Structure 1
Amino acid sequence: MSTKDAGALVDDAALLGAAQVRELAERLEVRPTKQWGQNFVIDANTVRKIVRVAGVGRKDVVVEVGPGLGSLTLALLPAVKKVIAVEVDPRLAGALEQTVRDLQPENADRLKLVNADALTVTSLPGADPTALVANLPYNISVPVVLSFLEHFPTIERVLVMVQLEVAERLAARPGGKIYGVPSLKAAWYADVELAGRVGRTVFWPAPNVDSGLVSLVRREPPSTTASRVEVFRCIDAAFAQRRKALRGALASWAGSPVLAEQALVAAGIDPRTRGEQLGILDFARIAENRPQPADA
């Protein structure tokens, strides 16, 4: 089975439909909460599309954050080697394995469940993940993506469904109003693209916003003598006062406006430039040219 066809070949009977999602939630006494950003997918074609666009296959170990009732999990299992599902809600975590055994008993051994807050996860049991594929809770989507790219260098590809505005911010290019910290930090790790839009009606309950699919394909980080932490601190400083020219915005980060200007000039950047005009390579150059304290 090719990865292109993997999502499409899952029979409807092995997936969760709208009635089954509601029935399962009622039986578990689960009421979707804003606290955990829960919106459950009720459309089989949507989860098939996610698996297809993710490009995962039989060799992949996929980590899925926030599997919920299992809609996407059930679409992933027949297509990949293993799914490591990270679920914070103990009731949902407790029911997911049974749902898989009921609908796809032949794939039950491919599921590994981790009952934990994804933002605290720095290691996973079993094989190293090669992909992150998830319908992410809106309120933690960017921190989760960045955290997993940081802590799991074996992750080669990411395909996540997030709030459309978040997807657009992650995939934004320099020069636009929505370009900023998420765009740059994601670009440190990967090539990022908006991979599609998803309407509200495929969820229960239906959210008040549209969703988007965003694809990240890992590549080598910028070649620089500055560390990732140093570059990220520079980015944070630049966008804390994004309306300011970088000479002023980076003053505290560098130690003074004069030192900020020195770092910018050494990096080949006009001190009057704003952060939103620069790419990740530019910020890497600025960070590596930050003047060192006299007693360093």
Structure 2
Amino acid sequence: MKSQKKVKMKTSKAQKKENRAGYLFIMPYLIFFIVFTGIPFLMAIGLSFLNVKYITRLDDLKFVGLNNFIKMFQSKEIVDSLFRTFEYALVYVPLIMIVGFALAMILNRGVFAKNALRSMAFMPYVSNIVAVAVIFKVLLGSNSPIIQGLKSMGFDPPLLLMDLKLALPTVATVAVWKGVGLNMVVYLGALQGVPTELMEAAQIDGATKWQRVRNVVIPLVSPTTFFLLISSIIGSLQNFTIIQALTEGGPGQATTVMSVNIVRTAFMKYDTSLASAMAMVMFIIVMIITLIQWRGQKKWVNY
């Protein structure tokens, strides 16, 4: 009995020591998260119910309730930017999911120089987003060598970043090129966990390549698909940098999505409370989409 108690005491002490070490490891992240994310988030919630301008004196602060949210939905400019955000996501999310999965399927096989190709596909993800935007702005601009070369051959190529209808899908496609490497790598890890026995059994049963992918691979990587779907939807809403660097919200208002409008409202129109209300609406939309996905995952995710 005494020996058992000593073993338990030693185990509990070792467990406490291990827990303390774990807390010490995560403490820097928690501190930075609270300071740079948690506190600003709580402040944004509070600001959305006040009348704060960028230079408002504390004496002039007033509680205005839902006035900022009402003002937001009464503004055609803001509502249009919200719809453009959905349009951007409808291009970005399916494209990055499909291309990421397709690249992973191709590079999971014994293709020539697959390690070099994997590195090349992943490299844009770790590149600076502003540098990527500047390069594409030069390549797709009116004076780019590609456009000038096509014109010299008698073609009339569209100026994708200056077209009212094509500018937003073009920016979304550039963002996909920038971020698809992460989806590819995550899918590669999932594909390498697919049992070869199942694939061989399906092939023996006469299943075609597409049937093997649809009935064996896709169900087995569905948890990965679920994770990437949520992260891709959230990523589609974090699009300020690439849009600002490529088009600055133009031409006209063609690429002025919600993130661009929030920054303009806060730092150009100095309406901090309205910008906070817009940010809260975006947060609520993301939460609703995520909750729907969590509820729906039981029907199509196989663990």
Instruction: Assess same fold via TM > 0.5.
Output: no
Higher relative contact order (CA closer than 8 Å, sequence separation 6+): 2
**With structure 1 as the length reference, what TM-score do the two structures score?**
0.20
Structure 2 length as normaliser, TM-score?
A: 0.20
Greater fraction of residues in helix: 2
